[in-house]
Chain A
């Protein structure tokens, strides 16, 4: 039996909706908090580590029961991708990681040929943890490299050295991991084009199958934001590169990676042929996804829920809901466990479909759109799409509409017009 969220409502019902095939699991722990980080992650207080990890894992299982349903777990949800992120999954000990993986495999059910990613930090990835991953079917490892420049790693508050990255890659390769991603950041304080070029070249030398390159966003309230606020034109190690400088970095890296055989399949993502991240692709296609753990977000059938981001609040919410008798409507139980519930309007879902899809190289599918929303994309967004294709910013090809690559770095200038007011 399929669980129907809320009472029937045409506005909310998604025609031909498939069940979520992407599962995210959040590990909220870190060895230390990075200077730029605004994610739901924290460093457990001394002496409380075990309590926190066990409490989290127990709550995670309870949440999975609620969201996926015992029945569903037995049948298998038919997930095509699982992504274990953080935080820092490799903060967990070998034994804890194994405990997590036991659960994850249970959540995912009959997983088959799917993609299973675990994020790892170069400093905390050990041979033992890599073995655990391998054993439980992890087939993709995403390394939080961020930079290969000692000074910048210090600026960001990362715990690893460039040498740790090399060691981690060797270790993974030795165990047969054939799909490795590097996260790299640009637009960092004091980062010049030359430093960026060196980092990317050295990264490519290590031959990751996938590169995720993202521009630094300084989030308010982070140590980095405070540091940058305190600087008024002072030492340039703490100044952000200008937009033009960042554009230079981006343009260079696009050309460089193309020459190295990496395809840009989304604004920030590059991969060798066949190594695009399926988990992210599902999200960008506007498909439903389920997130478990503190701060995790799920979007199913037009309803987006966000879990409490602090571990304590998350555990409390899940426990409270789990105590409610099982004959209560599971959908309502899940909603009341969430810290935030957003019911997406049809306009919002259409807007998201467009702005996420147009960030990818293949763009959006008109057929896919009308299948999803029961209306031709051109009836909704026609005048903007035509105007910008006229200007050469967008291109139409068969069923697809996509952003021309030279405009990827100014994508918002178009995407904002695809946000409907409703």
Chain B
């Protein structure tokens, strides 16, 4: 029996930031009539404000396009969008697994970037049909031929039939749609088999609960059916199935090969994990789809309300964000300096910044974040290994035998002119050179192994500035290595301010300590007393500065006529103090805690 799935094509778009993925997606929606040009509120797929501002996709989205092909048949094209950042590579891999084909979009002026390459390899691993698309051919600096050659040399793909496109001007869009129909294979699933569906994303809806976005591999899915999530073994009754057209639209049934969503009154997104397999509760398949893993937090930091009375609001905000973001982890943490807050785990730095910004913008919270940390493996003298993701929980030096830190293998693509700059940066960041490949005569791919802690600290900014923005980076975790790590503490007025502590390499301690105390000296306002600012490793003071005592903070003469005014002046001064954190007898402004995040070395 000819399955309906022969008219279905599931594809995604692989592109580097700025290479025009969103504009292209908009064109596809427009041409297939999914949305009129007027409805297209520029880049529909990237619907979060933050995403629009940053020009990147953070959360994935999906959309169904109806396309009347030149062969006379109507096709259902499902575009599954992928996030464009290394922090979300697992999510990307699951989106790719839901597709049979991928558009590889490369900027005609810039060529392939490291992140794109990493995702192409992921797509090849998933046996996706790859259609090269060279975009922005309207640019004066476009070199489509050079880019075509680059695709062949670097990826080993036949790029002779790469499609030349200007998404901006709308040229080449029909060719892309035809190529999707003819070159991307239809899904192979079988409606008659037991249900297997892959969750590639999920979102939380306050009425319908956690809604997994799924690709049905085999079998079919209807309202009323009992399903089981294989990672958690939990069973739910389906209350609704639907597709993205592009808004959520209820359908009777989802069949093998189709992309859509289901609602089943799932309480939270922890039960609709990306990569998990949905199967029938009555007739489950034996094995889940391959490739699932739990979200792994790479970066941790402390999140504290500036005003301690905002703790409950911060907790509510995190709870709400967590509804939609299973990869966000948090637990209570108490800092002597900052009071009660949270230790939060993130997929990476971008993820951390996004959460921070959303807490501030969407929830209006004023928060202090502490220096990001990676997860260290600390081997104690008792022979145990403990995972430490916060300087606060590092055992005292006497109990530590040795410490291992997470390492990453990086791949940096850059024009040959910047080889020196890239190498210098990696040496500075304790990197160990692995190798370097010439992609073309003018571009190289450089591989280093370096500590993850160096990547999360000022690495992207440095890479960008040292290569004038021409380099791109991809990295993956490569294991743990022993390193000479120490805890750097900051003492204000002789007391440790735990929120300013960090774990770092011994060779870094002196210069970081020096810079930090200088910075703090300039950020901490003069107080009633002289405040010594010290950087300490173990028992040794490695740097010291002094915030001199304030000498004048007084009202001019108070006479009967201006008492109200004087009282108000004092009220105002007191109000200003509320934005400060009182640590011991020292008042510390919010910026001082942020100083540890961006000290240039």
Contact = CB atoms under 8 A, between A and B. Distances in A.
B574 A214 contact: no
A411 interface: yes
B560 A355 contact: no
B571 to A, nearest CB: 5
Contacts of A269: 557
A412 B528 CA distance: 10
A391 B529 contact: yes
A412 B554 contact: yes
A34 to B, nearest CB: 15
A45 interface: no
A297 B585 contact: no
Given A244-B551, A411-B553, A412-B553, A419 B561 contact: no
Given A409-B554, A411-B554, A283 B574 contact: no
B567 interface: yes
A413 B550 contact: yes
A348 interface: yes
B557 A283 contact: no
Contacts of A7: none
Contacts, number: 103
Contacts of A417: 574, 577
Interface in B502-544: 527-529
A299 B567 CA distance: 14
Contact of A393 (B528, B554, B566): B528
A268 interface: yes
Given A351-B567, A393-B528, A410 B556 contact: no
A244 B585 CA distance: 22
Contacts of A414: 528
B559 A416 contact: no
Contact of A419 (B527, B556, B571): B571
B559 A280 contact: yes
Contacts of A359: 555, 558
Contacts of A284: 558
Contacts of B192: none
Contacts of A283: 558-560, 563
Interface in A128-156: none
Given A351-B567, A355-B567, A297 B551 contact: no
Contacts of A297: 560-564
A393 B527 CA distance: 12
Given A416-B577, A419-B567, A419-B571, A410 B559 contact: no
A268 B557 contact: yes
Contact of A289 (B553, B560, B566, B585): B560
A296 interface: yes
Nearest to B585: A391
A215 interface: yes
B226 to A, nearest CB: 57
A128 to B, nearest CB: 28
Interface in A187-241: 212, 214-217
A296 B574 CA distance: 28
B563 A352 contact: yes
Contacts of B529: 391
A291 B556 CA distance: 21
A62 interface: no
Interface in A170-200: none
Contacts of B571: 416, 419
Given A415-B570, A416-B574, A299 B553 contact: no
B573 interface: yes
A223 B527 CA distance: 33
B569 to A, nearest CB: 8
B563 A419 contact: no
A217 B552 contact: no
Interface string A341-356: 0100000100110011
Contact of B554 (A216, A342, A356, A408): A408
A22 to B, nearest CB: 7
B132 to A, nearest CB: 59
A291 B561 contact: yes
A24 interface: yes
A395 interface: no
Given A352-B567, A413-B527, A246 B552 contact: yes
A412 B551 contact: no
Contact of B556 (A217, A351, A355, A418): A217
Contacts of B570: 351, 355, 412, 415-416, 418-419
B556 A215 contact: yes
A267 B553 CA distance: 12
A340 to B, nearest CB: 9
Contacts of A352: 563, 567
Contact of A410 (B528, B558, B563, B585): B528
A268 B556 contact: yes
A170 B361 CA distance: 69
B53 to A, nearest CB: 36
Nearest to B563: A352
Contact of A409 (B552, B557, B559, B562): B552
B557 A419 contact: no
B341 to A, nearest CB: 24
Contacts of B566: 355
A409 B553 CA distance: 6
A356 B570 CA distance: 12
Given A291-B560, A355-B567, A356-B563, A267 B554 contact: yes
A418 B566 CA distance: 13
A302 interface: no
B229 to A, nearest CB: 51
A216 B561 CA distance: 17
A246 B556 CA distance: 12
Nearest to A248: B551
A149 B526 CA distance: 33
A62 to B, nearest CB: 20
Contact of A24 (B552, B560, B563): B560
A348 B557 CA distance: 19
A295 B561 contact: yes
A372 interface: no
A367 B560 CA distance: 23
A379 B39 CA distance: 64
A304 interface: yes
Contacts of B559: 280, 283
B557 A212 contact: yes
A296 B561 contact: yes
Contacts of A252: none
B562 to A, nearest CB: 8
A71 interface: no
B439 to A, nearest CB: 54
B574 to A, nearest CB: 4
Interface in A393-422: 393, 407-419
Contacts of B556: 214-217, 268
A356 B563 CA distance: 9
A377 interface: no
Task: Identify which of B551, B566, B577 gathers the most chain A CB atoms within 10 Å of its CB.
Answer: B551
Contacts of A105: none
Contacts of A408: 554
Contacts of A413: 527-528, 550, 553
A243 interface: yes
Contacts of B577: 416-417
Given A24-B561, A268-B556, A416-B574, A243 B567 contact: no
Contacts of B561: 24, 291, 295-297
A106 interface: no
18 contacts: A24-B561, A267-B557, A268-B557, A283-B558, A283-B563, A284-B558, A289-B560, A297-B562, A348-B567, A355-B570, A391-B528, A391-B529, A410-B553, A410-B554, A412-B554, A412-B555, A413-B553, A414-B528
Given A296-B561, A304-B564, A355-B570, 4 more contacts: A297-B562, A299-B563, A359-B558, A408-B554
The 10 closest A-B pairs by CB, nearest first: A247-B551, A243-B552, A416-B574, A214-B557, A416-B573, A412-B553, A283-B560, A268-B557, A297-B561, A410-B553
